[in-house]
Amino acid sequence: MNERVQSGGLVLLAQRGDELVGVLEFFPPNIIAMLFVTVKRKGIAAKLLQQAITKIRTEDPTLGQLIVHSSPYALPIYQKMGFKVTGEKVTENGITYIPMELELSDKNA
C-alpha cells in the first residue's frame, strides 16, 4: 500500500475504535481501485467516497468523473452512490466486473 501511495495513489481508512471497517484506494487520474467495508448499511462506503472526492478535487478541481470496475456483487452499492453502468459485464484473468462511472459536479465537491 505504501508504494501505491508514494506513486500518487490515495488510500483512505475508516475505523470504529481500534477496528478497521473500511478502505478506499484511488489511482490517478480517476480510478477507484478498491472500496471495501466490513460493517454494512452504515454509510461508511459513501463517507469514504465523499472524502476521496473532496481530496481529489482539491488537487484537481477540473476532474470530471471517477471510474470503477465493480464486482457484480457491489453493483447496487455503487449505483446507490450515483455511479452509472457504462458497459457490459467483462471477465479478464478470471475476474468479472462491470465498468461504471460517476460524473462529478459541484455538489460532489
Per residue in 58-104, pLDDT (tens digit) is 888 899 999 999 999 999 999 999 999 999 999 999 999 999 999 99
Q: Phi-psi bin for 92: left (phi > 0), alpha (psi -120 to 50), beta?
A: beta
Tell me whether strands 65-70 and 31-37 are parallel, antiparallel or unpaired: parallel
Domain limits of the chain? Answer: 2-108
> What is the identity of the amino acid at 16?
R
Q: Looking at the domain 2-108, which fold is it?
A: Aminopeptidase (3.40.630)
- pLDDT of 22 reads 94
Per residue in 9-65, pLDDT (tens digit) is 789 999 999 999 999 999 888 999 999 999 888 899 999 999 999 999 988 889 999
Q: Beta-carbon neighbour count of residue 34 at 10 Å?
A: 15
